[in-house]
Structure 1
Amino acid sequence: MTSTFDRTVTPTRPAHRSPQVLRWLGAYTASTLGDSVFYLALSWAAVSGGTPAQAGLVMAVAAVPRALLMLFGGVIADRLGPRRVVIASDAVRCLVTLGLAATLFLASPGLWALAAVALVFGTVDALFLPAVGALPPRIADRDQLARVQGMRGLAYRMGAVVGAPLGGLAVAVGGTATAFGVAGLLFAFSLPLLSALRLRPLPREEEARDGTALRGLADGLRYLRGHPVLGPLMIVVLLSDLGFVGPLNVGLAVLSEQRGWGASGIGWVLAGFGVGAGAASLLLTVKGHVPRTGLVMGWTMVVGAVSVGALAHLPQLPLAVLAGLCVGLLAGLSGALCNALIQTECDPAYLGRVSAVASLGSLGIAPLSFPVTGAAIGAWGPGPVFVVSAAVCALSGVYGLAVRAVRRAELPKG
């Protein structure tokens, strides 16, 4: 499917040399670091101020508006423009986080204040996530979008790896108020970088603003349903997340306890996963193009599923870490390729809504599998559950390979 946007854009410079892309990347990295510091500080403050059950409730509050409002967040991103939405989102997070830091310096507001801030963050996330996914085609050429996705993956991994220790250090030095202050400053750092972005205009931009929000959402869903690549890709994303997130978030903790690896064992396996995913992002950043993209994406999902199933059958921690690295490498590569295909196949006028649907699968629907995964492990043990989860992951790859348009999908060459 070729749009006017596709025909009029010509390659200029590599993404890693583009000031526009580097500004966006710096802002995204700062925002991701701020998120990591914020949620660590929030969890610590909630545990310190209440029972574990109350702390869990505070942390869960953010997920509700994120799941309920994500699709409408995509409509807003397409109507108002992703740059405006991202700037507004980080500005709100900056002000709310710094306000909470000041409040904690002066008083002890209680768990209700933490829950209120978590609710605000969940609402803002529902707007921020589709908008940040819709920005790359407005700042980078189409043949550079795969490289941009690799750079985004590296920034996300850096936020996850550096953010938690940074937040822990801030809590140790000055308490939770200091940690919230650090998070607020990181959000503030993203604002001038985002403000300096100059976005290219899109065809059909005015059309995207017509009608009600419900009509805009319905138009986006119709566009997805009729697209030969994007519609099936949404099913691939959902199946992959459903099979992947349960074992990594719930099953790994049970497995580590049963094997006697302890909490450090979870950390080592997740570290292996992070290294593998970071290596996949680095590969895509450097290479910028993977021939036979759809075919490679499908097969890496299938092979990565084998590593997911193997995790529950490896008694030695070093082997489990190696399996985690393989999962990260293969899942990271397939996920980055999938995101890059979404970026290049989608008409940019719909990208906010399409990004919202993709994000809803991983952040809204897939987490609902956590209780099911836990109950199944309690009934049958981790082995069968990991195998079933791996089968679901493999099914996502098989489905992608079975759909001709997805199997033959290609990223543009730089």
Structure 2
Amino acid sequence: MTETETETSLTNTPPASLMRNRSFMLVWMSGLAIMLGFSMFFLSVSWFIVDVLNRPAVLGAVLMSVSIPRVIMMIYGGILADKIRKSLIMFVTNFLQGLVMVTMIILFFNDWLHVGSLIVIALVFGFLDAFFFPAVSSMIPIIVRDEQLQRANSLFQGSTEMMFIIGPLVAGVLLTIGDFTLTFSAAAILIFSSTVLVFPAFIQDPKPEKREGSPSALEDLKEGLTYVRQSHVHRTGTIAIVIINLFMIGPLIISFPILVDSLGGSPFELSLLEAGLSAGTFLASVLLVIWNLKRKRGRLVFGSLLLSFAFFIVFSQVTALPPLVLLAGLTGFMAMFVYLPTVTLVQERTDKNKLGRVMSIITLAASGFEPLAFGLISFLVAAELPIQTILMIAGSTGLLFSGALVYFSSSFRRLD
């Protein structure tokens, strides 16, 4: 079945619950499994670097190793998603990530897991992520109706964020009763489970139609970038996501283990802090599923952008764990009211044959600028600048750029 035939079929059939959409349910369950595995993996690696290797300044280098290949290959991942069956891309990348996890378990078991091997593993994970995320984000608008898109995005994002609440808690418990072999093995099993769920024969997503002239990857890239640049919705939405990830999400992620270690905390307390952020994003997603917002979304995005940085600046000046957890949750809550409505606004206004490239640019904006935050903050931490001061500078800068974006983007503010 071609993409055009699939769209016609969706148009001519009566509305059905997302829970009865077999393809969406499989993609959703696959997302739950892999995000749970990833959250356990990343907390375990972060704590291994900070506590076992006693190298907190190296944490930024490892996180950068995940993000840099993602930045380099993300656009090509989007180009590929417009040419190859999206479920096939997801299946292959998940399977390879499962093999990477098995390799890491072997390295740890033989006491070969050190900074060098962790960086190589992170590079491979980042490379594979560059293909997975454009595929899954451009898959959802293909397999669900337009009127269900806001709910589908919110349900997928919210429930996967819930895995980032459960995952760190589970990893913290497993590290308390066992060692890193236990957490790495559990993560590997979850990733392989995700691989099975997105087997192409199960998903049955349409194969993209061949385009006339067989354009090169460079021509596809130019077309995608021009498409985004010429639309004020795509352009402004992308900039908003860049700002919130470069000046808030990136600094938050790298600051958690450093803050907990400076406060004399444990892996379980680190998991609480990460779970606080995930709880905020999850609750926001649930609210958007229930609300299914259709009006004044532009104003909501901008108001949430400004408020999220206000909470982040307060977070930067707190040194006690309970209020840090609360403020991390509030920051994540408002950040999700920036990200999800923006993604849906972009998807609704994107041609289906360009979804892969457009969503790769959005995903790049969401995660591709984090290496800059990771690298700069690691450098400042190594220079013995207090982490609270670093976070204050990042939050204030982000608030300044957010104010400028709101002021110069009046057309985006008026969007429904």
TM range (shorter): 0.7 to 0.9
* Residues 1:199 and 2:205 are matched in the alignment: yes
* Residues 1:389 and 2:392 are matched in the alignment: no
Gaps of 5+ in 2: none
Q: Which of 84, 88, 100 is matched with 1:84 structurally? A: 88
- Cα distance in structure 2, aligned partners of 1:393 and 1:245: 13
CA drift at 1:389: 2.1
The correspondence of residues 153-302 of structure 1 with structure 2, limited to 5 A, is: 153-170=157-174, 175-195=179-199, 196-200=202-206, 205-207=209-211, 210-245=214-249, 247-249=251-253, 270-302=274-306
- Cα distance in structure 1, aligned partners of 2:342 and 2:250: 20
- Cα distance in structure 1, aligned partners of 2:386 and 2:55: 27
Q: In structure 2, do the counterparts of structure 1 residues 317 and 351 end up closer, same or farther at CA, with 3 Å as the change threshold?
A: same
RMSD: 3.7
CA drift at 1:170: 4.6
- Cα distance in structure 2, aligned partners of 1:174 and 1:44: 14
CA drift at 1:371: 4.6
- Cα distance in structure 2, aligned partners of 1:343 and 1:209: 26
Report what 1:28 is aligned to. Answer: 31
* Residues 1:406 and 2:412 are matched in the alignment: yes
State the one-letter code of the partner of 1:33: L
- Cα distance in structure 1, aligned partners of 2:73 and 2:311: 34
Q: In structure 2, do the counterparts of structure 1 residues 126 and 84 end up closer, same or farther at CA, with 3 Å as the change threshold?
A: same
Q: In structure 2, do the counterparts of structure 1 residues 251 and 92 end up closer, same or farther at CA, with 3 Å as the change threshold?
A: closer
- Cα distance in structure 1, aligned partners of 2:257 and 2:52: 25
- Cα distance in structure 2, aligned partners of 1:238 and 1:134: 19
CA drift at 1:281: 0.6
CA drift at 1:89: 0.5
In the comparison of the two structures, how many residue pairs are matched? 404
Q: Deviations over 1:23-56 (max 9, x none)?
A: 1110001111121233344456667885627964
Q: In structure 2, do the counterparts of structure 1 residues 44 and 249 end up closer, same or farther at CA, with 3 Å as the change threshold?
A: closer
- Cα distance in structure 2, aligned partners of 1:317 and 1:187: 31
> Does the 8 Å contact 1:147/1:288 carry over to 2?
yes
- 36-45 vs 4-13, greater mean Cα deviation: 4-13
TM-score by length of 1: 0.82
Q: Which of 91, 97, 106 is matched with 1:93 structurally? A: 97
CA drift at 1:79: 1.6
- Cα distance in structure 2, aligned partners of 1:147 and 1:63: 29
- 317-326 vs 25-34, greater mean Cα deviation: 317-326
* Residues 1:13 and 2:16 are matched in the alignment: yes
Report what 1:137 is aligned to. Answer: 141
> Does the 8 Å contact 2:169/2:272 carry over to 1?
no
> Does the 8 Å contact 1:244/1:393 carry over to 2?
no
> Does the 8 Å contact 2:240/2:405 carry over to 1?
yes
Q: In structure 2, do the counterparts of structure 1 residues 44 and 315 end up closer, same or farther at CA, with 3 Å as the change threshold?
A: closer
Q: In structure 2, do the counterparts of structure 1 residues 53 and 143 end up closer, same or farther at CA, with 3 Å as the change threshold?
A: same
Aligned residue for 1:278, secondary structure, equals helix
Q: Which of 350, 357, 362 is matched with 1:358 structurally? A: 362
CA drift at 1:87: 0.9
Percent same amino acid among aligned pairs? 24
